[in-house]
Structure formats: C-alpha cells, structure tokens
Structure 1
Amino acid sequence: MKTQESKRKTSAIEAVDLFCGVGGLTHGLALGGIMVRAGIDLDPICRFPYEANNSATFIEEDVKNLSADTVKRLFKGKQLRLLAGCAPCQPFSTYSRGGRRGGSNKDWELVVSFGRLIREVQPDLVTMENVPQMEQHPVFQKFLKDLEGYHVAWSVIECSAIGVPQTRKRFVLLASKLGPEGLSIPTSHYRQVTVRDAIGHLPSVSAGEAHANDPMHAAPRLSAINMERIQASRPGGTWRDWHPSLRAACHQRETGDTYPSVYGRMSWDQPGPTMTTQCFGYGNGRFGHPEQDRAITLREAAVLQTFPAKYRFLRKGERATFYLLGRLIGNAVPVRLGEVIAEVLRSHVALYGQRRRAG
C-alpha cells in the first residue's frame, strides 16, 4: 500500500481547496493521492491546524473577493487541476438558525462565488460537498449553469456507509471535463466503523478535565443535575429512561417528544451521531460518552470526524477552547469523505488516461 507521501509524488491531480477550514477535505484528498497546493479560508484561526498537518499553503482570503488569476497561479504543475470546496451552509443550519427556512441572497454568495471561480478558472475537475438540501435549492441550478461543458454527477452520501464513524448525510458533487464514467461514489464495499473502533482506545478522562498529554482530549464540566442525568443514562437510551425528577423543562412539553437524543449516550457498537459545532455539550444531542460519565472530548469529536488522533489543532502550550474548536471540528469535512472523493477521482482519471493511451 502506498504511503501518503508516495501517493502525492505520483499524483495525476493537483488541487486548490476553497473554504478549507482546518483541513478536513485537504487532508482526505492528500491521503487519497491528490497533491493539494493551497487552502483558502477567511478564518485566520484555521491557519495553524491547516499548515501544521498538511503540505499546503493557507491563504487567508474571502472567496467572494478571490480572483481567477490568483487561483490559477496556485496550480504549479502539469497535473490535472481540481477545484474543491465546501461553501458554508448556514441557510440550512437548523441548530444555529432556529430552523429558519429560506434565507437572504447573501446566505448564498459563497456558493455563487464558487461557481464564478469554476467558470473563470476552468479546472479539469470539480468537487463540492454540502448539506443534503443543496440540490433542492434554486442556487444549485445556478451552480449547474456554471458547470456547462462538464460531465456532472451528484448524490447524497451517508458517511457511515463509507467508513466514517458517524451518521452524517452530505451532498457530494463531482464534475469532470474528461468524460462521464466513474464519477459516482460507491457505498457498498466499505466496512462500518463504530464508536468503539474510533475512540475506544483513547484514555479515560473525567468531566471538567483534560488529559495531561493531549489538551484536545478535554471534556467540559457537568452541573450536578447533568451528572445525575448521565449516570442514569444507558448507551443508546433516552431521557425517558430517567426518573421524572431528572427531566428538563423542555421534556415536559409535548414538543420535547421530538428530541429523544438530547442528553443521550452514544452506543459503542454503532456509528456516532452527526458531529455538530456543539458536539462537546452533553445537552446538545447524543454526545454522552458510552461509558464514562461525561460528554465526548474535543479529541474524540475530531476522531469521529476521522481526523487522525495526532492531528494538531493547538500550538504547543495552548489550551483548548470548547466553543471555538467545536465550531472548527463540527464544520469540517470528514477526512474519510475527502479520501474517498480522491480515490474516485484518481480512478476516473486513470480510466480516461488508459483510453487515451489505448487510442
């Protein structure tokens, strides 16, 4: 099996990653054998984790202001060029927007900017990852117009079906100037990865503590009532298992019946829930550790997002900030999804390369 470094040396594809964040998609593309030249993001906090873990340059820039010439200069070799990215999807974030539907035109400026850069740069290959609702929104039809001249395929991928240890549905689009074949992502031949597989080996920590050797392996404190609640919870269970005195006010209302996973523990032998930007909070979803009386740590959340256990988010001596790092981890593209995208694109390129040689 080729190492990541040897794959990069023989890569037929080079990439620029728009909206790169802390590098989930970049890292996955690199693991899958694509040479990522640069990642672009407006958030300066992403610079250290992006560059500390990836052989690519971080460029702090608003994609809305990014010129095609700037992007073209980032491609340095003779390989096929891939423009990749996951435009932030706030219009569909029911957690942060209180379930608000629709959205202003400004909500979609980043998707529109992505389409503009495709039209102006004309890369050989394109991939976009986003929320499943993307294909139902009018902005997607505009995006498709920017892909005129490309062969385009898209689908909604259940990430647990490709080896991500969480239930996370994502819209994935692949586009190519080479041809239509080989642009679909297979989901039938991957082994399911469970919470136990992913984080079962990590050392124990208590609520309110961080592991001495890893400041990312830190869990927030629990209030006295929440400690009682998690002690009364079983893996895969709900708050309905508790004594009524432990139930929160929201559980007493009829609408509370629609949130059975809140304050829940994960199950060892199932994939975890979708990692959100507030996945470190016990009361924010099924984010209780299967066994220990605490919410999952930031490191566990990152590993469930398939970041390597040694992925560096903090400088030496820096302390973890739950809300900041939770946002960066929850918004990231799972590394494994990026790796699978890379494998599909490399196979697609090899298919058409073989045909050209045969002809």
Structure 2
Amino acid sequence: MSTRDRRWTVVDLFSGAGGMSWGFHAHPQFRIAAAVDAQKSKPSRSTLDCNDTYERNIGIRPLEFDLQQISATELYQAVRKEGNFRSPTVLLACPPCTGFTRTLPKNHSEDDPRNSLVGRVAEFAAVLKPKVIILENARELIRGSFKSHSKKLEQKLHELGYSVHSQIYRLENMGLPQRRERAIIVAVAAGLPLRTLDDLWDGWKVNQKSITVRHAIYDLPEVSAGQTHPADPSHVSSAVTDTVMQRIRAIPTDGGSWISLFRSPETEELATPAMRRSVEANRTNHFSDVYGRMAWDNPAPAIKRECSHVGNGRYTHPEQDRLCTVRELALLQGFPSTYRFEGTSRQNAYRHVGDAVPPLISHQLAWVCSWILGGPRPKPSQFVLPNTTLRPQDVLVDKKARVEQLKISAAKA
C-alpha cells in the first residue's frame, strides 16, 4: 500500500531546461508536480529541445503549451491532471526576458508582445491558487521602460489577496560566480509571512574568493576548441575558423579585450569591420566584451542566451584559446556539476545554460519558500546547493550586520 506524498507541490511555467525547478527538486520538502514550456526558439529554428534536458534531469516531461494562447482554465486542467494535486503550493514563473533586457536597444522604445506574458501569471494564479508565487526576470522588468507590466501584475496579485515584494538583486552577493542582476518577485497568500532573499541572507555574507572564475572552473581539465572531454560530454566548446582562432590567440590572457588587437599592424589585421568602426569613432568601450577573455580573479560577466560564440560576449576562456565549454558556463551559471546537457545540439545546450535561472539561486528561493510555509529559518548548510561552486563554508558571518542587529534589539528593549 503506497503512502501519501506529503511534500509541497510545485508548478513551473516557462520551465526551460530546469534551472528554476532544480532548486526546488533538490529540496527534500518539495515535489515538482508539473512544468510547462513551448520550447520555442527563433522563427528560423525548430525547437530549443529544452524539454528533453528538463526531463533528463528533473524526471518529468514538461507539457508543451504556448502560454500566450492557452486559457487559464485549460492550463489548470492540464497541470492538475499531470501533477495529481488540487492546487499547487508554489507557482514558479519565468517569462521570457528578451523583451525587457537592456542589451537590446529596441527594448527602450518598443514593447515586445512577449512582455504581456508577465500579466498572464496573475491569470494563471487566479485559477491555480498557489500559496507562494516566485517570478524571475531581467532587472528592467521593474526598472525599465515597460515596467508597467510588473506594476499591473502586482496590482492583480494584490486584488487576489497576495502580499507582493519586488526587488532587483546582484546575484554575486548570493554566491553566484557571475555579475548577474535580476528582478525577483515574491508573492504570498493571505496569512503567510512575506520573506525574501534579503531575509535569508540577513547576517550572512559571501566569501569574495568563492565567486571568482578561478574558484569555479580552474580545476577542469584542458580541452581544445571543438574537442569533447571523454569524462564529461558537456565539457566541450564550439570549433572555430582559423581566422577566429588567430583573433583569440592575439587577445591577452586573463581579462584581455579586442582593443588589444590594435597594438600592432600584424594583430590589427585580425580586427573585424565593427571593431575598426568603433576605434575610428573613438568608442573603444563599445561592445568591449566581444571576443574578450574572462578574468581569473573576478566573477564572470553576465552569461546570456547566445553564449555559443566568442563574438557574442566575454565568453573566451581566461587562458586556453577557445570559447568556454558548456560545462564551464553551466558552473558559472550556478548549475551543479552533475547536470546533464547532452542529447541536444551544442548550440541549444549553450542556450539552455544562458536562458536559465541559476539553480544555485533557485535553491535559496526554495528554502525561502519552505520558511514562508512554516519551516524554520534555514542555515547555509541547507540553502547552499550541493555540487555547485558555492560551499557552506563560503558563507561567512556578517559581523557588521550582526552588530547593527544587536543595536536595534537593544534600542527596542
């Protein structure tokens, strides 16, 4: 006779390759009951194959629905049947950030149709009736030209009886070895305490040595461009042309930039037309990360969706002459070393990494949720995700914050 599964249920909308889900999947008190992703790529490409990666790691197959088209009632019926629950405890929602991110100039003046998916989260919440809602997106969701979408979402959630907290976080402050700034919205049903990542980290701080590129990937074995390491199918980078390889080799190791190509006539010949135009216009900081190498003793730059080419950002290895591998970028993105990205195209594997909510952060959000739902305040030994670049011993007591807490407590006494 089977016993009833008493874990809290989770539904993940826009589930991608499982970055947000994994943090809850790794928490002993949560069960991923259902996930949904249309796995759409750009119009010229057929599919992202992210549902295969999700199933390989999480163990359930996401439902393939277009969340811009399906009605809230239809969604409720589908995920309830899939997950065997009445109402999920937690609703995760990470709508596409492409229409908000500041890296696309048009987003300052054009409201992308996909941005309306933010408002749909409230429609889904109205029928799913979760106790906690977590939404993650680009910082421009609550600060950019079209922050009205988040304002409307908050208003609708308030009307449904939720308390809402919206904030922009620098995720390196939470242990991610990457400079990544993201908006996180937490909403809780009436009667539940509203807690956030700020509460989780109150009195704690990260050892700065633990958020560097060196700490994250230095020990990985060397591979050449286009080569797959036999022990790890994901420790592989894209092959490059001879011209691109010459360009990479001409850029100084440990933080070098394409600007260095102009140091001599020989290396200047390797510069692209766009680089030449930037120099002629005296805009040497223009797209300064393109073809750039990561620096060993700094956090990585923000890892974006199109991270599969050295010409798309500072994704070149600090020392080896190649693009960082899928595994290296996954570690820098907060995935555990055991996460599997094989079974899809290499380009899609890179997108799965760049699109994801860092599991290192989603695991912390899972512990925030268990605290909201009545559990005790979690300790670093609990909220640090195993097999990632962050270890419990990397979380230090913030003595300054503790002193301030004591002063406040003394003043109240």
What is the TM-score with the length of structure 1 in the denominator? 0.85
Aligned to 1:249: 273
Q: CA deviation at 1:214?
A: 2.8
Match of 1:265 among 275, 280, 293: 293
Q: Write the mapping of 1:1-359 to structure 2, written as runs, cut at 5 A.
A: 11=7, 13-33=8-28, 34-43=30-39, 45-64=49-68, 65=70, 66-74=74-82, 76=84, 81-93=89-101, 97=104, 99-104=106-111, 106-136=113-143, 137-148=147-158, 149-177=161-189, 178-185=191-198, 186-187=200-201, 188-191=204-207, 192-232=210-250, 233-242=252-261, 243-244=263-264, 245=268, 246-252=270-276, 253=278, 254=281, 255-315=283-343, 321-350=345-374
In 2, distance between residues paired with 1:68 and 1:102? 35
Q: Deviations over 1:64-93 (max 9, x none)?
A: 315333344455468971111100122124
Greater shift after overlay, 306-315 or 67-76?
67-76
Cα distance per residue 1:105-137 (max 9 Å; x no partner): 622232222121012222111000001011131
Whether the aligned pair in 2 keeps the contact of 1:48 and 1:314 (CA below 8 Å) is no
Unaligned runs of 5+ in 2: 40-46, 378-413
How far apart are the structure 2 equivalents of 1:297 and 1:201?
A: 13
Alignment partner of 1:51: what SS? Answer: helix
1: CA distance, partners of 2:148 / 2:34: 30
- Unaligned residue ranges in structure 1 (runs of 5+): 1-8, 354-359
Larger Rg: 2
Q: What is the CA-CA distance between 1:333 and the residue it aligns to?
A: 0.9
SS in 1 for 2:63: strand
Distance 1:236 1:107, change over 3 A: same
Q: CA deviation at 1:256?
A: 4.5
When the two chains are superposed, the root-mean-square deviation of aligned CA atoms in Å is 2.5
Q: Quick one: distance in 1 between partners of 2:112 and 2:290?
A: 33
Give secondary structure in 2 for the equivalent of 1:350.
coil
Which TM-score applies when normalising by structure 2?
Answer: 0.75
C-alpha contact 1:183 1:348 (8 A) present in aligned 2 = no
CA distance in 1, matches of 2:338, 2:219: 13
In 2, are the aligned partners of 1:32 and 1:338 still within 8 Å (CA)?
no
Question: How many residue pairs align between the two structures?
Answer: 339
In 2, Cα distance between the equivalents of 1:37 and 1:143? Answer: 24
Cα 1:71–1:347 change in 2 (3 A) is same
Q: State the distance in 1 between where 2:150 and 2:173 align.
A: 25
CA contact (8 A) 2:99 2:112 kept: no
Moved more, 66-75 or 266-275: 66-75
AA of the residue aligned to 1:152: V
CA distance in 1, matches of 2:119, 2:150: 9
Structure 1 residues 105 and 222: alpha-carbon distance in aligned structure 2, compared to 1, 3 A threshold? closer
